Amino acid sequence: MHRHGAVFEDLAVEVMAELPTGEARREVLELIDAARTDPRAWPDVRDVGSTEEIREAFGRRCWIQFMPHAGAIEVREIGWAG
């Protein structure tokens, strides 16, 4: 799945499909846009020795795990606590 400079892994696509429409999806998409706009503003959570840059971004009721790629991000996981 591709959206606004973001590529979604299968797990992230499944979570997006299960989110309630409206506010939940809007909050997740806003967080994805914020992460895409400034990916290095979010903490790097990669394991020691890993060569993949993995970051996490947190919203009010959601979080994402992503990898930055030259002006885009790859969304690996989405979490929703709402």
Is the pTM of the predicted complex or chain greater than 0.95?
A: no
Contact call for residues 44 and 65 (beta carbons, < 8 A): no
62: which residues sit within 8 A by CB, 6+ positions away?
Answer: 24, 27, 28, 31, 78, 79, 80, 81, 82
pLDDT digits (tens, 9 = 90+) for 32-66: 999 999 999 999 999 999 999 999 999 999 999 99
Q: Which two tokens stand for residue 15?
A: 């979570």
Q: Where are the domains of the chain?
A: 2-44+53-80
Q: Which two tokens stand for residue 48?
A: 């020691």
Tell me what pLDDT residue 1 has. 55
The fourth-level CATH superfamily of domain 2-44+53-80 is RelE-like (3.30.2310.20)
Distance CA 75, CA 21 (A): 19
The DSSP secondary-structure symbol of 27 reads: H
3-18 average pLDDT score: 86
pLDDT digits (tens, 9 = 90+) for 62-78: 999 999 988 899 999 99
